[in-house]
Amino acid sequence: MEQGLNVLGFSYNGYHFSFGQRTYIMGVLNVTPDSFSDGGLYFDLDRALERAYSMVEAGADIIDVGGESTRPGSDPVPLEEELRRVLPVVERLARELKVPISVDTYKAEVARQALERGATMINDITGLRADPRMPEVVARFGCPVVVMHIKGTPKNMQENPTYEDVVAEVKEYLLEGIRLAVEAGLPREKVIIDPGIGFGKTVDHNLEILRRLKEFKALGQALLVGTSRKSFIGKLLNLPVNERLLGTAATVALSIAGGADIVRVHDVGEMKQVVQMADAIVRGYHHG
């Protein structure tokens, strides 16, 4: 949160989150063969674990494990396959790492089994809409949940996304996700919102959201922003996915200026420096 506003704080699974004082870095760990940026690189358990350790060493505060690619045009993964990909990684990381483990899933059964194995957070790209049992699962465990906005599904979301007012419509969707979590019994402060950069948005929609991030802060929740290596950066700069580091850095710094509490990134070491500088300027916070 901006300086002068109350800090959102809560504890879960032995970890304390204090949003508002500094920006948290969420490192992306895709245990998939086909994710847009790093598909196949960490599909093997040992390589996935090695990648997670290196991200923590580089400064990641949270590791976000995903077992299903949600790139534009992707198909859903069957439940049993997602469980097979995710659970061994979560179990090992929860036991061996001293940072919270988030699981990027919209399936309640994946969330339940991951939380039973030590996961700390659920990151639902559908904002608790895809699986009606998800609000009940996160409420039963009392874990923090990321409620993200998406228009359509990963398969069709980029075909022709249109809005009358993208920020107003995304805010309305996020408010409904907050309501679903709270009505299921999850304390409101444990709901983190994500406007879903790149999920059913054009380049101009993404830029408008980033320009108006402070309007999302008015909802009173911790705010996560995920811009890392995304296609709108590539389209603006005419660069392939592996050359979007500096474009990502610009979006991360400006997201923090707009009020982001968590930034979700692939290049943790480089973005750690961006976060440190942005926090010093925006929040007056000096990282150790």
Catalytic residues: 230, 264
Residue 18 Cα distances to 15, 28, 119, 150, angstroms? 10, 21, 19, 27
Residues 6+ apart with CB under 8 A from 250: none
Write out 5-24 in H/E/C secondary structure: CCCEEEEECCEEEEECCECE
- Residue 260 contacts residue 224 (beta carbons within 8 Å): yes
Nearest by Cα to 122 from 255, 26, 25? 26
Angle at 98 between CA 177 and CA 141, to 5 degrees: 35
Which residues on neighbouring strands pair with residue 62, listed in sequence order? 26
**50 vs 58: CA distance, rounded Å:** 12
Q: Exposure of 6 by Cβ count < 10 A (0-12 exposed, 13-18 middle, 19+ buried)? A: exposed
